[in-house]
Amino acid sequence: MSVSEPPSATGGAQPAPAAQAPAAQAAAPAAGPAAEIAAGYAFDGPALDLGALLWDGACHPDAPIRVPLPVLNRHGLVAGATGTGKTKTLQLIAEQLSGHGVPVFLADIKGDVSGISAPGEDGGRVGQRAAEVGQEWRATGFPCEFYGLGGLGPGIPVRATVTSFGPVLLSKVLQLNRTQEQSLGLIFHYADAKGLELVDLKDLRAVVAFLVSDTGKAELKGIGGLSTVTAGVILRAITAFEQQGAGGFFGEPEFDTSEFLRTAADGRGTVSVLELPAVQDKPQLFSTFLMWMLADLFHDLPEVGDPEKPKLVFFFDEAHLLFKGASKAFLESITQTVRLIRSKGVGVFLVTQTPKDVPADVLAQLGNRVQHALRAFTPDDAKALKATVRTFPKSPYDLEEVLTGLGTGEAVVTVLSEKGAPTPVAATRLRAPESLMGPVDAAALDAAVKASPLYGRYAEAVDRESAYEKLTAEQKAAEAAALEAAAAQEAEKAAEEAEKNGARAPREKEEPSLAEQVVGSGIFKSLARSIGTQLGREISRSVFGTARRRR
């Protein structure tokens, strides 16, 4: 869905609730700590406007808090308790990035981000917030594309082949332990070596089933000693996963993540919204799929160094789900991807409740911070609050007091300056989004999806020949060859008997139980062992083990 309004120079965030009295307004501070903070955000180049400085109970509209556009590929964190305005902050940043011609990716878990495609509504609270922060608010919609995992819910279907998804990410989805993850890696290696392309889950299930069969056990010895017990566990996990209705997420046509880098005809960046309400009860699935998208971009994009503006900013919502229960190898892969993808012009913003949800090695890569309010209702909350405060630079604020006292749509901000140094910590009243703060009508969303030029490319699933079909065909060929050999052997035996008895040998005679005899025969087993022996085309795998066929 595209909207023809011109790019806006303003952005925004969620207004404060009516029950909360707004802080007093004041001119820009002339001296003291507040003036030093304000000076830290006076950038010369293009920047996004986040809001206005809060100091000593007053909002200073003449002291804007901004983030330089070039540093947005240095990654960031948007954190805060539920209901503090994180989603509207994402909307605010995404709007301004689009206005600057930067494509954006957003995950819409609750179904309330689609409104970014439509102009906002000028209500009383929006006008009040705009006046408080010195914002010239104008209702504006932004160019959007809507996607859905595997065709569930509204959106252009996003699918991945099992081969490109890779064993590390798939192990996370299947909730395998470390040993089982390593074994799955061996299975992928076997399939790669034998040219058995894993397009969907039935392909993977067919390969695993073959390897645990009597015929395939000999193959297990050649790929590192994979045990039949572990292979059986993996097979059951795949079957259970399919029974949950997740089979549609894997298949073809595989989504090309470079679609996220598109811009609209008017030069604004396209906002790609992945609609996830239909799968919000499968957090391991959608969080891992987001990581696949990021890993795929990392694998395909060229090095660009530090561009004047990012090629894409990727918002990773519910990021804590990605790290929960993750293996050491998985965490190392995430850290490496986040660290290196910056040089490919992609900025990553993790969205979660507290910084402690993010491993220290990953948190160290996040140069820009927008921390919404935290609550301290329990001892665990208080501990998380103290841990969060320790992650900020030294500040003239009492951050424990500030973080527990922030209203909805207010945050503590620190970003990287144009020179790459951290800016002073600034309590900030955020701007109001100019697009609709809520979902668009379902009919309008469906119409926008079907009107997209990408819909025809990805809407219909394709089931071409892959590992399942190859194994099935070759097994049938082996059965047919075995039957033919057995029949010839029976005919030869009958001819010998007839010759002994001086009678003419019957030419076409079969015993009723011949099929059962053939299936259990040594000849059949020998021929069946030849299944899947053709050499495959080369597959290049990334740090996560994700892969694509060489294009």
Q: Of the given ranges (16-25, 88-97, 140-149, 227-236), which has the lowest mean pLDDT?
A: 16-25
pLDDT bracket for residue 318 (50, 70, 90): confident
Ramachandran assignment for 427, one of left (phi > 0), alpha (psi -120 to 50 degrees), beta (any other): beta
Name every residue whose Cβ is closer than 8 Å to that of residue 488 and which is 6 or more positions away in sequence: none
Q: For the chain, give the percent of residues with pLDDT over 90.
A: 53
Structure-token match 């062992």, residue found: 529
What are the φ/ψ torsions at residue 146 (nearest 5 degrees)?
-115, 135
> Considering the chain, what is the average pLDDT of its residues?
84
Whether 368 contacts 75, CB under 8 Å: yes
SS3 (DSSP) at 298: helix
* Residue with the larger pLDDT of the pair 483 and 94: 94
pLDDT at position 15 is 36
Q: For the chain, give the percent of residues with pLDDT over 70.
A: 86
Is the confidence at residue 16, as pLDDT, over 90?
no
Question: What would the pLDDT profile of 162-172 be if each residue is shown by its tens digit?
Answer: 999 999 999 98
pLDDT bracket for residue 304 (50, 70, 90): very high
pLDDT bracket for residue 28 (50, 70, 90): low
Q: Of the given ranges (48-52, 282-286, 483-487, 503-507), which has the lowest mean pLDDT?
A: 503-507
Give mean pLDDT, residues 368-382.
Answer: 92
pLDDT at position 527 is 37
Query: How many C-beta atoms surround the C-beta of residue 78 within 10 A?
Result: 25
Question: What angle, 0 to 180 degrees and rounded to 10, lies between the N-to-C axes of helices 328-341 and 178-193?
Answer: 60
What are the φ/ψ torsions at residue 427 (nearest 5 degrees)?
-70, 135
pLDDT bracket for residue 30 (50, 70, 90): low
pLDDT at position 52 is 97
pLDDT at position 178 is 87
**Domains and their CATH numbers in the chain:** 24-159+256-458 (3.40.50.300), 161-251+465-551 (no CATH)
Structure-token match 């959608």, residue found: 286
Q: Of the given ranges (327-336, 339-348, 457-466), which has the lowest mean pLDDT?
A: 327-336
pLDDT at position 541 is 65
Alpha carbon of 75 to those of 310, 326, 339, 405: distances in Å?
Answer: 10, 21, 9, 26
Is the confidence at residue 369, as pLDDT, over 50?
yes
pLDDT bracket for residue 124 (50, 70, 90): confident
How is the chain split among helix, strand and coil, in percent rounded to 5? Answer: 45, 15, 40
State how far the Cα of 174 lies from the Cα of 181, in Å rounded to an integer. 9
pLDDT at position 445 is 94
